[in-house]
Amino acid sequence: MTKLSVNINKIATLRNARGGNFPNLIKVAKDIQEFGADGITIHPRPDERHIRYQDARDLKKVVYTEYNIEGNPIPDFIELVTEVKPTQVTLVPDAVDAITSNAGWDTIGHKEFLKDVISRFKSQGIRTSIFVDADEKMVEGAADTGTDRIELYTESYAADFATGKKEGLQPFIAAAKKAHELGLGINAGHDLSLDNIRYFKENIPHLLEVSIGHALICEAIYLGLENVVNMYLHKLR
Catalytic residues: 43, 70, 190
SS3 of the chain:
CCEEEEECHHHHHHHHHHCCCCCCHHHHHHHHHHCCCCEEEECCCCCCCCCCHHHHHHHHCCCCCEEEEEECCCHHHHHHHHHHCCCEEEECCCCCCCCCCCCCCCCCCCHHHHHHHHHHHHHCCCEEEEEECCCHHHHHHHHHHCCCEEEEECHHHHHHHHCCCHHHHHHHHHHHHHHHHCCCEEEEECCCCCCCHHHHHHHCCCEEEEEECHHHHHHHHHHCHHHHHHHHHHHHC
